[in-house]
Structure 1
């Protein structure tokens, strides 16, 4: 044991960094697989029915689909094919209540194989996604209720941000689109690594032996994974309906996804810069540069913490993290804690169970 200890002590800083790099990488992969396996099993959750016992509500579930996917071409001013989705009587004339498969709207337009009849057409982002079709199917099978006091109005600036994008046709485009689906799996790595590295920088003030090699390894891996996760996020945002990434108009700058996206870019750039400084300081043994990259790691950890917090609220709701503290402190729950599941998630879950 003494000889092994002496060999470790004699290792160069680069060798020690690679050793810590391997250990942390293995730990991160193990953590990622644990998170993935935990997310595969969904707990049974109650869902809210309306006063008539229906799962799908027109105003909450169906109207947003019609507004963002159909209304642009089938409205009062531009009723293509002499068909309007904002006119209650017109739309319901294409529906057979309680029987989606016999409804002209569902069978002859939304799910038909004929490209000339498919709505919305592929040139306008069609067809509808599986979850959107599931919502409309359930809505029709539950009677196709459209309250007379509910009107389908033209989408405002907020709704128009959710632009349907036609599927990519080139190989490069398909690769770019496909890698975006890895964003939810990879986004945990830079968050965990940069925060872990910053924690060891702080611990290094008390115990210098742990204040350099571990933070350095965390910074190097964190920078690489931050860049990869950010690139995947840009692609995934388009898939999730947030539109193109290169818009800077006032409307999209008010959207939370805009700031989430570009704060991720800031983290990636800063992490890469400080990682380069760290490697140079390791080679030149420059104490001032070492101080710079450690301070930079603390800054990156603070920003990535905010980015991760924002991403969590975008995925699970603004009350998600406050509820964590209420749970920890044992404070009474509010009405916001009532668990409701959207029709899309319930239908998707039932479809997965049937597969």
Structure 2
């Protein structure tokens, strides 16, 4: 086949040398343009890091952590919107040594996993990878970058968007069990009030014996039933809110002591209720036992209820109320503002010493 014949039959062949050179020039221009574009685009940000906190990490913290660990509702006293708190659980440049990542985000224990399974946990592999790289690159949290909900968004919407699509539907029993748990904040007031009122009438019976049987007995029996119900609801509610199941043992956790002290009160109330029924039936001397037990229950349920209030509203809830009553709230705030934070006292003393030497 001649060269002329090849050119006619091959659409990619150039008819002469000038056309061939023109083709080479166009290919060179295209390659040069692609090379320049590749140089301008980079996987690293201006600080030379792959992960940008505001672009990559902030959305994860907002969607997966913020609803349960914010300023108004900081479960386990952990706030994801406070850089100092978060960085206190992180070892920059070492994700495996970082408590927040290794002990919680990577945990296979449903009581330790964050976010918990009931909140859509664990994080997806992509989210875990970004958090890991962010920590290994130094866990940089730029100053001025904050976590907060948009005005039109709600905690429920944020959590709903964060739950993986393949989480799967719950069984009917699981749904009913979780539903009744949300009644705990309302139901728990019944045994608290009933045991306190029953104990009060036991004390009144020391002066007026006629008040020492029917009312305290009714309060004890109804209080025991509602204590059983509210305790069961409390266990469900704790799991649903991410506090862990009954198998979670943490002696430093206030929720652990609250749930087990509630169980103790419930068991004692059932025991004293049975003693009271036996006493009424047989008219024996065990009446003093259940009445004394009711006084003990009134004391214990008051302590457990107070602890539950602190978990819900903070330890400063009642002290703040009294400061408002006596008009001393501003004075306490000013005094606390003047006190150095723990660990800063030595720094202040050192600075004073340096200035003195100067």
Q: TM-score, normalised by structure 2?
A: 0.51
8 Å contact from structure 1 (residues 84, 90) kept in 2: no
SS of residue matched to 2:242: coil
Cα shift at 1:277: 0.8
Cα deviations by residue, 1:74-101 (Å, 9 ceiling, x for unpaired): xxxx994483125188999xxxx99x9x
Give, in whole Å, the separation in 2 of the partners of 1:168 and 1:61.
35
- 1:207 Cα deviation from its structure 2 partner: 1.0
Give the aligned partner of residue 72 of structure 1. 106
For 2:158 and 2:258, how far apart are their aligned partners in 1?
Answer: 35
Cα distance between partner residues in 1 of 2:229 and 2:302: 17
User: How does 1:163-174 map onto structure 2 within 5 Å?
Assistant: 169-174=170-175
- Please tell me whether the aligned partners of residues 179 and 235 of structure 1 are also in contact (alpha carbons under 8 angstroms): yes
What are the Cα deviations for residues 104-132 of structure 1, in whole angstroms up to 9, with x where unaligned?
xxxxxx9899xxxx866367xx7xxxxxx
Helix, strand or coil at the partner of 1:241: coil
1:51-90 alignment runs, 5 A limit: 57=81, 59=83, 71-72=105-106, 80-81=125-126, 83-85=129-131, 87=134
Q: 2:260 aligns with which of 259, 262, 265?
A: 262
The structural deviation recorded for 1:237 is: 0.2
Verify: 1:215 aligned to 2:179, yes or no: no
CA–CA distance in structure 2, aligned partners of residues 199 and 322 of structure 1: 25
Q: Deviations over 1:137-173 (max 9, x none)?
A: xxxxxxxxxxxxxxxxxxxxxxxxxxxxxx8722212
Instruction: Measure, in 1, the Cα distance between the counterparts of 2:303 and 2:335.
Output: 23
When residues 91 and 330 of structure 1 are mapped into structure 2, their CA distance, relative to the original with a 3 A threshold, is closer
Q: Which digits, 9 at most, give the CA deviation of each residue in 1:43-92, with x for residues without a partner?
A: xxxx99xxxxxxx956279989xx5799539xxxx994483125188999
Distance 1:315 1:112 in 2: 20
Find the counterpart in structure 1 of residue 247 from structure 2: 246
Partner residue in 2 for 1:282: 280
Correspondences of 1:1-355 after superposition (within 5 Å): 57=81, 59=83, 71-72=105-106, 80-81=125-126, 83-85=129-131, 87=134, 121=164, 169-248=170-249, 252-286=250-284, 288-333=285-330, 334-335=332-333
Indicate how the Cα distance of structure 1 residues 328 and 192 shifts in structure 2: closer, same or farther if over 3 A, else same.
farther
Distance in 2 (alpha carbons) for counterparts of 1:320 and 1:175 = 33
Q: Distance in 1 between matches of 2:318 and 2:187?
A: 21
How far has the Cα of 1:194 moved from its partner? 0.2
Gapped runs of 5+ residues in structure 1? 1-46, 49-55, 101-109, 127-166, 339-355
Structure 2 residue runs of 5 or longer lacking an equivalent are 1-70, 73-79, 90-99, 108-122, 149-156, 337-358
In structure 2, distance between residues paired with 1:273 and 1:70:
39
Tell me how large the CA RMSD over aligned residues is: 4.3
| CA gap 1:170/1:335 in 2 versus in 1, 3 angstroms | same
- Number of residue equivalences: 218
User: What is the CA–CA distance in structure 2 between the aligned matches of 1:298 and 1:111, rounded to whole Å?
Assistant: 46
- Residues 90 and 111 from structure 1, CA distance in 2 versus in 1: closer, same or farther, beyond 3 angstroms? farther
The question of whether the paired residues in 2 share the 8 Å contact of 1:177 and 1:235 is answered with yes
Deviations for 1:18-46, whole angstroms, at most 9, x for unmatched residues?
xxxxxxxxxxxxxxxxxxxxxxxxxxxxx
Q: Is the 8 A contact 1:71 1:85 kept in 2?
A: no
Q: CA deviation at 1:300?
A: 0.7
- Which is greater in Rg? 2
Structure with higher RCO (Cα < 8 A, 6+ apart)? 1
Q: Deviations over 1:173-195 (max 9, x none)?
A: 22111110000110111001000
Residues 180 and 236, structure 2, Cα contact 8 Å, conserved in 1: yes
- Per the TM alignment, residue 205 of structure 1 is displaced from its structure 2 partner at its CA by 0.3
